């Protein structure tokens, strides 16, 4: 307990289930993914934006410092609700201007995602509107999405560019992310995804575009400190393995972290990508068996995005059980974007993970908190409720933590605490 005066203090009292996600090895693998550090009848004391203590309420209230300083401490009565670390959405594409309704209806009519993209829909069809939009217009859209995420329990978001596809429009997209993040209480990690697809004007000249990304866009994003990561869509219809590796190498050369969209539609060889030390490999619908053991030995997190499978109407989902049982660290995210996953809701993703990927509610929550923090390399500060870590917490109006994944399309998040302050809904 602190003896110095850090103000303000916040006590979350009368918590029914507190999921601390404390202790253990990170990222969580195999059986350890079940370890959510559940404490019943708990309380959490926050101060100076950090967690000061989290534990059984009876013990916490006996603390001599708290007993003498109780009047300085603001109290949030959680009335038996469930409290988790703020959820971490470690993969989103929020910088777009319009929904893709033509693609939506075409798919309902039976067309596939790649087929629609090849016919002029898909990612390229979101580009024109982003190019036409001002930085201010885009930042408003990004902020609206961040607020919708916060409403449903998310306090950390990874946000990618990727619908500009020119130097100017990718930088504008990253600036829109930065502008929005400055008006949002949570934390945003930004990623340059200039290599989302080959833009129309480079049709037949993909290598020229890759060179532009490597020699101009990555260095400028790094110099302007607008991105912490570089991502590339390595798949059929986007960038080849070889092109992807060039982009990852450029990212590292300029001091940026790496992550890759891979194995969404077609299998890829993961070993050469892993050479570039990606923080995460994302989608992972079709991973080859020999790559699973490779992933199990490394620190790269497999980020699974079942919202995309759901929205594209796929019957198959990423094989979470196989990855978990082999010891691969897995995380979950929304993949919020206009083409494959227009949802800001992490609780809905938890539901999909349980119903369609057979993850247990405990595993899904660990994948959306501590392992998602690892996917962003934020595990020292985020993803669990332990003394010294950031005081980001979500309060859900349910009695049992399993209900967070059980009720679907029903927002049960009632309070958010970010950096030790009540924000959003009932602030």
Peptide linkage before 8 cis (omega within 30 of 0): yes
Distance CA 121, CA 129 (A): 13
| Least separation in angstroms between CB 217 and ligand NIG | 17
Between 187 and 282, CB nearer to ligand NIG: 282
The listed partner (Fe ion, ligand NIG, none) that binds 363, CB under 5 to 8 Å by sort, is none
Sites for ligand NIG among residues 303-322 (CB under 6 A) = 308
Sites for ligand NIG among residues 243-262 (CB under 6 A) = 261
* Interface stretch with Fe ion, choices 18-26, 199-207, 333-341, 401-409 (CB under 5 A): 333-341
Peptide linkage before 176 cis (omega within 30 of 0): no
User: Which of 218, 265, 221, 220 is closest to 239 using CA atoms?
Assistant: 265
Between 170 and 335, CB nearer to Fe ion: 335
424 contacts ligand NIG (rule: CB under 6 A): no
* Interface stretch with ligand NIG, choices 68-76, 119-127, 351-359, 390-398 (CB under 6 A): 119-127
* Interface stretch with ligand NIG, choices 66-74, 122-130, 323-331, 367-375 (CB under 6 A): 122-130
Starting at the edge strand found earlier in the chain, the sheet holding 154-160 runs 87-92, 154-160, 187-195, 229-234, 257-262, 280-283, 301-304, 330-332
Between 152 and 264, CB nearer to Fe ion: 264
Instruction: Select from 103, 175, 335, 390 the one that contacts Fe ion (CB under 5 A).
Output: 335
| Least separation in angstroms between CB 77 and ligand NIG | 40
Sites for ligand NIG among residues 335-394 (CB under 6 A) = 335, 337-340
Distance CA 234, CA 268 (A): 8
Between 35 and 335, CB nearer to Fe ion: 335
| Least separation in angstroms between CB 304 and Fe ion | 12
Distance CA 242, CA 281 (A): 16
| Least separation in angstroms between CB 150 and ligand NIG | 21
Site string for ligand NIG, 270-309 (x = CB under 6 A): --------------------------------------x-
Please, are residues 249 and 255 in contact by the beta-carbon 8 Å criterion? no
| Least separation in angstroms between CB 338 and ligand NIG | 5
| Least separation in angstroms between CB 78 and ligand NIG | 35
Please, are residues 163 and 130 in contact by the beta-carbon 8 Å criterion? yes
Judged by CB under 6 A, the number of residues near ligand NIG is 13
Between 15 and 194, CB nearer to ligand NIG: 194
- Tell me the residue number closest to ligand NIG, measured at CB: 339
Sites for Fe ion among residues 120-159 (CB under 5 A) = none
| Least separation in angstroms between CB 306 and ligand NIG | 11
Between 89 and 390, CB nearer to Fe ion: 89
* Interface stretch with ligand NIG, choices 143-151, 334-342, 361-369, 383-391 (CB under 6 A): 334-342
User: Which of 316, 216, 195, 205 is closest to 258 using CA atoms?
Assistant: 195
Q: Please tell me the number of Cα atoms within 13 Å of 415 on its side-chain side.
A: 22
User: Which of 184, 254, 187 is closest to 220 using CA atoms?
Assistant: 254
* Interface stretch with ligand NIG, choices 118-126, 203-211, 287-295, 319-327 (CB under 6 A): 118-126
| Least separation in angstroms between CB 126 and Fe ion | 12
Q: Using only the alpha carbons of the chain, give its radius of gyration.
A: 21
Distance CA 138, CA 348 (A): 25
The listed partner (Fe ion, ligand NIG, none) that binds 338, CB under 5 to 8 Å by sort, is ligand NIG
* Interface stretch with ligand NIG, choices 121-129, 164-172, 241-249, 386-394 (CB under 6 A): 121-129
Distance CA 334, CA 120 (A): 25
Distance CA 237, CA 135 (A): 28
Which residue ranges make up the site for ligand NIG (CB under 6 A)? 93, 122-123, 126, 233, 261, 264, 308, 335, 337-340
Which residues make up the interface to Fe ion (CB under 5 A)? 335
């Amino acid at each position: 307990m602190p003896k110095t005066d850090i103000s303000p203090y916040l006590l979350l009292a009368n918590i029914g289930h507190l999921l601390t996600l404390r202790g253990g090895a990170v990222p969580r693998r195999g059986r350890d993914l079940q370890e959510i550090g559940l404490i019943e009848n708990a309380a959490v004391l926050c101060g100076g934006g950090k967690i000061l203590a989290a534990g059984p309420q009876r013990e916490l209230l006996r603390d001599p410092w708290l007993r003498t300083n109780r009047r300085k401490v603001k109290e949030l009565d959680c009335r038996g609700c469930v409290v988790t670390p703020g959820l971490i959405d470690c993969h989103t594409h929020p910088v777009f201007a319009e929904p893709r309704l033509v693609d939506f209806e075409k798919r309902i009519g039976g067309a596939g995602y790649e087929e629609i993209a090849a016919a002029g829909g898909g990612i390229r069809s979101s580009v024109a509107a982003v190019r036409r939009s001002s930085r201010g217009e885009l930042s408003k859209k990004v902020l609206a999405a961040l607020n919708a995420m916060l409403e449903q329990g998310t306090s950390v978001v990874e946000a990618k560019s990727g619908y500009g596809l020119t130097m100017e429009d990718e930088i504008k997209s990253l600036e829109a992310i930065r502008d929005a993040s400055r008006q949002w209480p949570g934390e945003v990690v930004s990623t340059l995804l200039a290599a989302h697809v080959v833009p129309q004007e480079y049709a037949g000249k993909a290598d020229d575009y890759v060179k532009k990304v490597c020699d101009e866009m990555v260095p400028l994003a790094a110099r302007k400190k607008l991105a912490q990561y570089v991502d590339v869509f390595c798949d059929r219809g986007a960038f080849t393995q070889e092109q992807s590796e060039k982009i990852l190498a450029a990212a590292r050369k300029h001091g940026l972290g790496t992550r890759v969209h891979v194995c969404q539609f077609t299998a890829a060889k993961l070993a050469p990508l892993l050479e570039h030390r990606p923080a995460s490999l994302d989608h992972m619908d079709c991973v080859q068996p020999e790559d699973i053991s490779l992933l199990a030995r490394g620190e790269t997190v497999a980020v699974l995005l079942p919202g995309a499978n759901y929205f594209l109407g796929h019957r198959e989902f990423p094989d979470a059980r196989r990855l978990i049982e082999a010891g691969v660290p897995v995380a979950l995210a929304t993949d919020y974007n206009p083409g494959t996953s227009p949802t800001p809701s992490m609780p809905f993703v938890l539901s999909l993970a349980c119903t369609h990927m057979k993850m247990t509610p405990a595993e899904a929550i660990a994948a959306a908190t501590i392992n998602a923090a690892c996917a962003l390399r934020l595990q020292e500060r985020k993803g669990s409720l332990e003394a010294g870590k950031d005081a980001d917490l979500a309060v859900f109006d349910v009695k049992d933590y399993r209900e967070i994944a059980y009720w679907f399309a029903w927002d049960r998040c009632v309070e958010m605490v970010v950096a030790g302050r009540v924000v959003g809904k009932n602030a």
